[in-house]
């Protein structure tokens, strides 16, 4: 009901809000967060209910198109995604150009932009019809293949053909782990846990990467380049990259025999570079609801796989300590989605350097939905202002006088 054009400031005062803690950049119908109460809803549906009853494909449709799909809409959507699950064979040579140790997030970002080269007829800002549904389906489907190809190239294994009989998440596990003569058959609990991981990452309003997607899209660059930029923003350890950092931190504590108490003390010390990774959030000032759901799942998956993980005990211990420490209580620092997700992904067999790539796969519907909404609202190009604090006007000094 809000007329966005009436909010356009034409001229006048500049507000300075570093980090945009109090700046709204848009209105949105997609995701609702109440950070004080720990509430997250997509299109009005509570994340807890989606986590329990939905699938990633259904949630992706919901986030993108605003309503839960009926049976035929879901079949059509899954068909669109299925039809796009192959990569153009020409992309093989691009993968071969990367060194084996290339960070998978760099490969993912580059290859999403490369999709634009193979789809030059789809570089539009359309929000309806095939001109939107096709690039959206291509990206949601091919991001999975790109991730798996990047991993398999890095370990010197051939690519697998996708299997149409598998779910979105089952197919991803197959593309990652199947051998030519030994197909990977995931346990139902594992496939479900990965699907849940993707659901929990589907959208999260105007975070750093989603704002980046909107920022890039606002110049009317293509959807491919906007999501490629989103991957770049997600990569950082303060954002999606935190899921790798949490496991590195827990491994460091475990393998180097650090006492969790000593680590917590270091994380409180402003002179130390250590932080309690996976803790804190710009918006949540109570428990991140996604972390709560994941914490509940980790045990199930470990049990189903018949494995135990000493890192989980360390994570519980750190969380318990943080709960009773004034430093964390005063600053409202609770576990965020990244705190338990790494333990889940590790149990499934995903290598640590792929964790943030999986976050990107899950976040794709949210990025695309935000890009679409922005173009539906015909927003202006994003262009923040600044307060100049540099030198006043001075005269050019010839080289011999400097
Ligand atoms: N460990 C120790 N201290 C922390 C932590 C932490 N993980 N997070 C915040 N703090 C402290 C800050 O030092 C600051 O203290 P001060 O007030 O004494 O200066 C206070 O808590 C407020 O923190 P800010 O950094 O101002 O909060 P901001 O909203 O800017 O940053 C962020 C949020 C980036 C998530 C931060 O909490 C952090 O770095 N956490 C660790 C990284 C992480 O887990 N990132 C994933 C976030 S979720 C996601 O992106 C999917």
Determine the average pLDDT of the residues in 346-363. Answer: 96
According to the model, what pLDDT value does residue 5 have?
59
Q: How far, in Å, from the CA of 238 to the mean position of ligand 1? A: 8
Interface predicted TM-score of the whole assembly (ipTM), two decimals: 0.97
Summarised one tens digit per residue, pLDDT across range 241-290 is 999 999 999 999 999 999 999 999 999 999 999 999 999 999 999 989 99
Q: How far, in Å, from the CA of 244 to the mean position of ligand 1? A: 16
According to the model, what pLDDT value does residue 300 have?
86
Summarised one tens digit per residue, pLDDT across range 203-241 is 999 999 999 999 999 999 999 999 999 999 999 999 999
Q: Which atom of ligand 1 is nearest to the CA of 288?
A: 48
Ligand 1: residues whose CB is within 6 Å? 19, 238-240, 242, 267, 275-282, 331, 333, 336-338
Q: What confidence category does residue 106 fall into, taking pLDDT thresholds of 50, 70 and 90? A: very high
Closest residue by Cα to residue 111 from 84, 148, 80: 148
Q: How far, in Å, from the CA of 281 to the mean position of ligand 1? A: 6
Summarised one tens digit per residue, pLDDT across range 159-195 is 999 999 999 999 999 999 999 899 999 899 999 999 9
Q: What confidence category does residue 154 fall into, taking pLDDT thresholds of 50, 70 and 90? A: confident
**CA 162 – CA 208 distance, rounded (Å):** 32
Atom 15 of ligand 1: nearest residue by CA position: 331
Atom 20 of ligand 1: nearest residue by CA position: 331
Per the residue annotation, which of 204, 309, 338, 375 is the catalytic one?
A: 338
> Is residue 13 predicted with pLDDT exceeding 90?
no
Summarised one tens digit per residue, pLDDT across range 124-151 is 999 999 999 999 999 999 999 999 999 9
Q: What is the number of alpha carbons within 13 Å of residue 186 lying toward its C-beta?
A: 25
Q: How far, in Å, from the CA of 25 to the mean position of ligand 1? A: 22
Average pLDDT of the chain, as a whole number: 94
> What tokens appear for 305 in the block?
């796989």
CA distances, 272 to each of 222, 249, 264, 266, 322 (Å): 42, 14, 11, 6, 17
Sort residue 257 into left (φ over 0), alpha (ψ -120 to 50) or beta.
left
Q: Which atom of ligand 1 is nearest to the CA of 270?
A: 13
Determine the average pLDDT of the residues in 16-21. Answer: 94
Summarised one tens digit per residue, pLDDT across range 19-77 is 999 999 999 999 999 999 999 999 999 999 999 999 999 999 999 999 999 999 999 99
Any bridge partners for residue 42, and if so which? 31, 45
Q: In what order do the strands lie in the sheet with 31-34?
A: 31-34, 39-42, 45-46
Atom 44 of ligand 1: nearest residue by CA position: 278
According to the model, what pLDDT value does residue 117 have?
97
Provide the strand spans (E) within 232-355.
Answer: none
Per the residue annotation, which of 281, 288, 309, 375 is the catalytic one?
A: 281
Q: Which atom of ligand 1 is nearest to the CA of 278?
A: 44
| Residue of 200, 280, 340 with the most ligand 1 atoms within 8 Å of its CB, for mutation | 280
According to the model, what pLDDT value does residue 4 have?
60
Summarised one tens digit per residue, pLDDT across range 314-330 is 999 999 999 999 999 99
Atom 14 of ligand 1: nearest residue by CA position: 331
Residue 338 annotated among the catalytic residues of the structure: yes
> What tokens appear for 284 in the block?
């949540």
The pTM for the full model equals 0.95
Atom 8 of ligand 1: nearest residue by CA position: 280
């Amino acid at each position: 009901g809000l007329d966005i054009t009436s909010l356009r400031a034409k001229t006048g005062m500049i507000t300075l809000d570093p980090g945009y803690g109090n700046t709204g950049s848009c209105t949105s119908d997609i995701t609702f967060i109440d950070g004080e109460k720990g509430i997250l809803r997509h299109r009005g549906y509570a994340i807890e209910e989606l986590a329990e009853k939905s699938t990633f494909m259904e949630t992706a449709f919901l986030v993108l198109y605003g309503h839960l799909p009926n049976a035929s809409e879901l079949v059509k959507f899954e068909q669109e995604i299925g039809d796009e699950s192959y990569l153009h064979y020409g992309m093989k040579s691009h993968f071969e150009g990367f060194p084996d140790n290339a960070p998978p997030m760099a490969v993912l970002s580059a290859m999403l932009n490369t999709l634009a080269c193979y789809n030059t007829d789809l570089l539009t800002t359309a929000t309806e019809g095939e001109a939107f549904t096709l690039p959206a389906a291509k990206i949601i489907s091919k991001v999975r293949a790109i991730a798996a190809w990047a991993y398999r190239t890095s370990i010197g294994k051939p690519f697998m053909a996708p299997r149409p009989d598998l779910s979105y998440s089952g197919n991803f596990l197959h593309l990652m782990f199947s051998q030519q003569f030994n197909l990977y058959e995931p346990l139902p609990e594992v496939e479900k846990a990965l699907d849940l991981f993707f659901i929990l990452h589907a959208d999260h309003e105007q975070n750093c990467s989603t704002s980046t997607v909107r920022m890039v899209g606002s110049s009317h660059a293509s959807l491919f380049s906007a999501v490629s930029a989103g991957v770049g923003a997600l990569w950082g350890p303060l954002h999606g990259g935190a899921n790798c950092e949490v496991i590195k931190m827990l491994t460091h504590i475990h393998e180097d025999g650090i006492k969790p108490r000593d680590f917590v003390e270091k994380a409180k010390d402003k002179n130390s570079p250590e932080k309690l990774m996976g803790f804190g959030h710009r918006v949540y000032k109570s428990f991140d609801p996604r972390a709560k759901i994941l914490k509940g799942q980790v045990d199930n998956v470990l049990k189903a796989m018949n494995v135990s993980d000493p890192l989980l005990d360390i994570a519980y211990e750190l969380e318990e300590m943080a709960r009773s420490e004034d430093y964390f209580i005063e600053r409202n620092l609770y576990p965020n989605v990244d705190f338990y997700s790494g333990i889940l992904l590790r149990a499934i067999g995903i290598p640590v350097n792929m964790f943030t790539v999986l976050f990107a796969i899950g976040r794709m519907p949210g990025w695309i939905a935000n890009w679409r909404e922005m173009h539906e609202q015909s927003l202006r190009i994003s262009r923040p202002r600044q307060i100049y604090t540099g030198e006043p006007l001075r005269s050019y000094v010839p080289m011999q006088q400097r």
